[in-house]
Structure formats: structure tokens, C-alpha cells
Structure 1
């Protein structure tokens, strides 16, 4: 039975045996698949994590003509304030219009927890439809309704005849999973069950030609979409980008493409399998087009599907020659410099590969979780960079990161904008590993990242000065211990 026949997607712990707790050298992980990191592994002490609602909101708020209605406590929507900058910027880049995301909350109170929040949810759905007249309303179930047993899907089913908007129930109960990448499955699940056609026969015939789905589940910003569109169009392919900033009425185009291409296997496998099973749309789920070699492999796989191998080979040779010339004056700055990469699994690994290609010595990687899809990336890294440096599988856990960074002392740290403070307070130059307004993917991304890192390393004074006046809350005794001390394997032993 398809996962999409269920009301909500399975946890990634169950579907993919994904895990969030492991510490070893890269070589000990590469080639061992899930044997290196069992789902039952955990920490005897954990410092923090991220709720899956946060990445889900980033995608839902980007959908044009939509309302995100969160069923839960008012604070569950607080991250929308910070994430709204990306929504405004994304709308401006695509349509030339500055538009905010529209999110509401049922604001459940203590009384609602006792008596149930279903009537309040039904009333909020009707009011959101009346006030905003959206094409879709994402009805998001957070922790509280999951705990008290509110039937969100039942309320949606009963209320749908009363409103014009399509209602999409999205299950983001944070307590159900520790793998917050499950958020991507939750959003794709809602889209697949509600916005796609029932059968492929219902799709109106499109224009003749070769069309690919370029999947972007918040994997990249508009400037990176344009880079990949440029490369795919050079091969004569038409490009359909979904789901971020894709109009609800156009979502059905995902079911009529000739091929689906992932830009991040961590994000996309759930929907790509559904498109293949239900609509016979084949897919490529391999490589993230960050880095020189990865971009070439990504293009070769797409071109090979359409029998365009010679054209891709010529395009890649031309692009790599131009890039090599552009990087030549920058690479001497990187020689001998040590780099640490921290992000979601595929972005952390593919960025580490790019850093090695630029001439950095990769000395550490932190991936937010681990599953089977990244095995090929681990093997590439072993071949390119060696294997005797630490790999930390951790859903944040800055105390482990601080310990590692003090021991390794990298020259540059690449992490998410809300995760760079630990390195910065240690005086290490930091660079954001993902920003929707900056280039990261393709050949343009390789050059632009190198150019930014060159400027960063040329003048690293800011973080050096910052470390003089700030400190981290860890005792010196912690820095002398094994950074993976609190990771407990499935058998019950600490690392």
C-alpha cells in the first residue's frame, strides 16, 4: 500500500531507518550503510533540537495564494516572523512583488486542551476562507492537537463543502519524530493527496517536448533555480519547478513531466516515489548539484535519460574550463586551509566535496541526520579527502560541535545562519552554508562560494575580535573529553 493512502506519512525513523546520533571518523561510516548508525542510538544527554514544524512552514508559507492555519498554541507560529524574509524575497525575485506569507493560529488555550479544539478549528477554517479567499489552506496539526486527540483530518473533511479553498491537512506533531526532515514528507504528503490529479488521464495535454520536474523543497533560492534552469535549457529541456513558490493550480504539472530530478535527495525521495508509482514519472535521486564534479554527474545523469550524453559532455567541458579560469586567482588563498562543514546531510557532504575541490583540507563534518541516500557521498569524500577526520551525526547539539571545533581549530566553518554562533564565539571565521539570496549550486555556485570565502579569509578579524569579548558556557574539563561521550549505541554502550 502506498504511504499516500494514509492520513499522514510515516516517521523517517520507520521508513528509512534514519538516525540522529553517531560519532566516528568518516572512514568508519563510509560503505557501512545503516550498520554505522542504528535508529535506536541516542544520547544520554541532549542539548537541543529543531521541531519539524519549522522547515515545513518555510515551504508552506512560500506557496502563492495560500493561507497556513496552525492548529495549536500561538507560539507554534513564531518562526514565521523570521522566515517571512525569505518569503518576501522569494516573491520579489520571481514576480517583482513584495508579499508576506499569510499564517494564522487557532491559539488553543488551557480550556481548549481540556474540552477539545475541533470546533475552534472548524470556525477558523471558515473565517480564513471568508477573509482571504485563498486557493488553498494548509491546516497544520501541531503537538497539542496530537496529544489531546483532535481529529484534524475529520474536521477538514466536514468543513471542505463549506469553503472554496482546497484544504490540505499537514501533520507536524513535533513529538512524533526526532528526524525533522520528516517535515518535507509531511508537506509533500498533503500536496500529493490533494493538489495532484486522481489519475494521469485527467491531465490536459501539454506542449510537446522534453519536460523535467526540478524539485525544490527549500533546497535553493531563485538564483540557484536560474543556474540549473540555464544548464537544463542548454540541453533543450523544459523545466517545471515545484513546490516552493509554485502556484497551487499548476502543481498538477508534476504528474505530466517526462522525468523528475532531485536537487536534494534528503528532501525529495518521498514525492518522487509517489510520482513514479501513481503517474509513471521516472526520477533521478542521486547527487546534489553542489560542487564541480557533482554538478557534472548530475547533468550527465539527466542527459543520459534523454539520450543527450554527447551534448552534456560538451556543455560540461565548456563550463568546467570557464570555471577553472575564474577560480585560478582565488585557489592559492585556500591551499592548506582547514574547513568544517555543518548542515543537513546532503548539503554538508556535497559542500565538503566542493571545499576539497577548491583546495581546502576538510577536517570535520556534522550532518543533521543519516540515512541510506548519502552513502555515495560518503564514498566520494573518502576517495577525495581521506577518512581520518570526525563525522558527527547530530540534530544540532552545539556542545559536541564546540568540543570538536576546539580540538580541530579549522580556518573556516560553514553552517546555517542560526548555527554559526558556536564557531564564531571561538574566533573561527564562519560562512552561511545556505541563503536563498546567494549562489551555491551549479558552476556559478561553485565560483560565487569561492569568491565569498576568499573575501572572508582575507579579512577574518570580526570573529577573532568577537571571541575576545564572548564565551561559550562549557567548562574546560568538557573540551578535554571525547566529544561523542554522551552518544549511546543501540546496544547500550557509549561511544
Structure 2
């Protein structure tokens, strides 16, 4: 079996999927073909071994522990303990804001996140800090009486080899609730998305019911904090939504094994949990394109309907939605004709957003994805979101993989000269603005989902284009923090070092 639930340590994305965080700028079709060669065992497709391009330094990124913080730390009746120095807890302020906003968007009671930091210091690095961890678990219980407690490791605890499994086992027996260790040291994986997998692995091991009673109308939706767009869509098929992991309760996670199917808004996020539920508990993963654009949403709805035996309802819904969006979609295409867009997000999400832009008639000459997974955990060709994009919407000539590096982003935007950018991780947006390019930071990750999402994104683009003068004025009055030599470069990887991915 691919998923070993006997161990608390999840395999990294590099080990499982061949994830890379750097690839020369080229055509999206080239990356798709080379990915197939590398990871799908298809040597006769004209592709070549996938190469990872590595720069000499990193300006900015995230880490696996942060992703655990934004997953396990957002379960409403659980507590996350960061077994780390206090510096690792600085993200709590930002994640608390995101958590509260997410609750408000979903019309749930607004509250603060429940995350405790063990505050490891220099002496703890010498003598160990398991006593602090045990005390923190008791504090979490006394303060909050949670349904479950998650423990996140850190680079510090990884360096000194803290045995958190032993403490987790002891305290689980004492408190009679799941105490879940998650190994997510920042240096464990070169890409932060492994942190998603660490949380999901812990949920599969210790929370999901082993003897489920099936609920034939329940669908697991793996998501973050976005608005509730899936409930009305699935209701058209007579299905109910089980939103996980963020903003869920422990009970929602326990019933994951009882669902009729599992879907997600982004295969980067949902890959591990969806495939694990199918292998370990027999819950079918919907193996279809992501629900972005007309072609993707059609295919996604039809596959979900096939698995849940609701084909007639699906066809009626698809026909009705096509007619509903057609008038405004035609208007948006006229208004956006000739506009050039650029997408800078995680990989699978970027593929979906590019599809929506092309549905709107926007030209997409370039995209930056922060990492690339040649395959997802199910290894099913129907989930190859990059190939689906290229086959259904055409190529992207300037496609780049780079892990949120601002110095490279400058050259990418300079070469493509887009009218606007779509971005998920807003740290890069100010640079685009200083180059005179307006951006839409997509804080609601569900904004472009489904048929209505096409119109949503079109309206958002019109809104940001209306503010172009502000960004152009800003460009005229600022100086970028780069040397003349770098400003003159055409390749973002002029400082590159090449590394072959092992297969």
C-alpha cells in the first residue's frame, strides 16, 4: 500500500511525487510532456528527464510547519501545539485573522484560533523539551477541553531529535482524546505543501472512523477558508457537503470515511487525503479535471454524478447553468478582449485559474507556479491538471516554476508585460504594483470555482483594471531595489544551478 498509517511520519512530496520548485521558463506543454516522461513511466512520448533548476539563494517562501498551522490550527474544537521556539509562532497573528474571516464568511461563530507554543529556548536545545511539551498538552486540555490535540514539530525539535510520539501516546492515554504527532520540520521538505500532507496523514491515522456507516449523500470537500460555493452546487445533485480540513470540527473529520466521495478545489491541497481515503477506507476520489471553466466544471460535475449515481440531475444542472451564464459571459469576453493576464499561485490552482481566464477571452502568455507536482497521489491521468489545461485551452508560452522569489518575479513580469496579475500569496503583489501592474489577491480561494466563478473572476478583473492609473503613477515615483545589471537581465535563472530529479 502507498499510505503507511503505522508510522506518524509522512513521506515528503519529493519522495512520493517528484515535486520540484524550480524549472526554466518554457512552454507549459513542454513541462507537461517532461513530467509524463519522468513520473508516469511513459518514455516514448518525446519528452525528457525532468530537470530542476535551483538558484543560489532564497528570498522568500513558506515552510511545512506553517501549513500545519493553517490546517490543524484551524480545526474549531481542537488545539494545535507548536513544539518550537517562539519565532515559529509569529504566524499565529496572521492565521488568526484568516481564521476569523473564514468563520465570518461561512456564517459560523467567530472566535480565535487555539494554538499554543512551547517556547523552546537555548537550554532546551541542550537538555530537551519534552517536559514543556507535556505541560503544554495539559494546559491545552485545562483551558479548552478540546476533542483532539495536534502536535507540530519544528526545525529545532528535528535537530535535537525530540521523541514526540512517546509524549503523544502517554497523554492520549491520560486524557482519552486523540493526541496527534505531526512531523513537519521546515527542512524536512523543500516545499511547504508537504505540511498539508503531514496534517492529513495524522487525521487518517488517528481521527477517521475505522468502521464507518456510509452516508450515500455526503461528499467530502477538501478546502481552506473559502466561501461556501460547494453547498449550492452539490445541492443540485441532492448531495451534502462535508467541508474539511479548515473550519471543520473533529466530528467532521471522523466521518470522512463515511462519505460517498471526496473532491477538492485544488489538487495540490487535496492529493494526499483524497487518495488516502480511497485506499484505506474505500471512499472514491473524484478523478476528473478541477472545477474551473466550462470544460473542467462539466467534466467534474459529470464524474461526481457518475460516482454518486445522479447523472440525470447533473445533465439538467449543466444545461441550466450554461444558459444562465451565457449572456454575461459574452459581455465579459467583449470587455476583456485583448487583455493580457498573468497567474502566480500554487501549481494546480494556477492551472485552474488560467483556464478561467481563457474562458473569458483573456490572453495568458505567462504564469509562475510556486512548485510543480509531476503527478498526484492517485497517479490518475484524469487528474493531470496541467495536461488538461494545455489540451483544452492551448499552451502558455512563458510558464515558470519558482518558489515565490521576488527577484525572479521582476524579470518574468518584465518579459511578459501583462495588463494584470492574479495572485494567491500576496507577498509578490506589491512588486507587481511597483511595476505598474494591478493585481487581484484571491483571498477567497473559491472565487473562481464553477460556472458562476467564471463570471466572478471576470468582474474582479474589470474592477482591478479600473485602477490602472494608480499603479502607473506608483511606477513613475518609486525605484526598484535591484542593480542596473539585474534590471537588464532577460532570464530569471541567470544565476541557476541544475539538478536532476531522481526517479
> Do they superpose with TM above 0.5?
yes
Q: Deviations over 1:328-359 (max 9, x none)?
A: 33322211111110101011111011101101
CA displacement at 1:470 relative to structure 2 = 2.6
Matches within 5 A, 1:221-260: 221=226, 223=227, 226-260=228-262
Aligned to 1:147: 159
Q: 1:284 aligns with which of 276, 286, 289?
A: 286
Q: What TM-score comes out, normalization by structure 2 length?
A: 0.90
Q: 1:428 aligns with which of 437, 455, 461?
A: 437
Aligned to 1:19: 20
Contact 2:289 2:388 in 1 (8 A): no
- Of 299-308 and 377-386, more deviation after overlay is shown by 377-386
Q: 2:189 aligns with which of 174, 177, 180?
A: 177
CA displacement at 1:488 relative to structure 2 = 2.8
How many residues were matched structurally?
A: 481
Change (3 A) 1:96 1:229: closer
CA displacement at 1:232 relative to structure 2 = 1.5
Alignment of 1:85 with 2:94, yes or no, is no
Q: What TM-score comes out, normalization by structure 1 length?
A: 0.91
Change (3 A) 1:381 1:251: closer
CA displacement at 1:68 relative to structure 2 = 1.4
CA displacement at 1:484 relative to structure 2 = 2.3
Aligned to 1:419: 428
Q: 2:418 aligns with which of 410, 415, 424?
A: 410
Alignment of 1:393 with 2:401, yes or no, is yes
Aligned to 1:365: 367
Alignment of 1:490 with 2:490, yes or no, is no
Aligned to 2:202: 190
Contact 1:349 1:365 in 2 (8 A): no
Contact 1:21 1:487 in 2 (8 A): no
Q: Deviations over 1:355-380 (max 9, x none)?
A: 01101100111111111348833333
Change (3 A) 1:280 1:167: same
The whole-number CA distance in structure 2 between the counterparts of 1:459 and 1:49 is: 29
Aligned to 2:476: 468
Change (3 A) 1:491 1:163: closer
Contact 1:352 1:362 in 2 (8 A): yes
| Secondary structure at the counterpart of residue 413 of structure 1 | strand
Alignment of 1:162 with 2:170, yes or no, is no
Aligned to 2:221: 214
Once superposed, what is the RMSD of the aligned Cα atoms?
2.2
Contact 2:265 2:291 in 1 (8 A): yes
The whole-number CA distance in structure 1 between the counterparts of 2:75 and 2:219 is: 20
Matches within 5 A, 1:65-144: 65-144=77-156
- Of 18-27 and 32-41, more deviation after overlay is shown by 32-41
Contact 1:189 1:271 in 2 (8 A): yes
The whole-number CA distance in structure 1 between the counterparts of 2:274 and 2:356 is: 26
Contact 1:414 1:430 in 2 (8 A): yes
The whole-number CA distance in structure 2 between the counterparts of 1:264 and 1:309 is: 24
Aligned to 1:8: 9
CA displacement at 1:85 relative to structure 2 = 1.5
Q: Deviations over 1:448-490 (max 9, x none)?
A: 1111111211331222222223332222322333222233333
Change (3 A) 1:54 1:158: same
Alignment of 1:382 with 2:383, yes or no, is no
| Secondary structure at the counterpart of residue 276 of structure 1 | helix
The whole-number CA distance in structure 2 between the counterparts of 1:306 and 1:165 is: 33
Q: Deviations over 1:170-193 (max 9, x none)?
A: 222001111211011011011111
Q: 1:330 aligns with which of 305, 329, 332?
A: 332
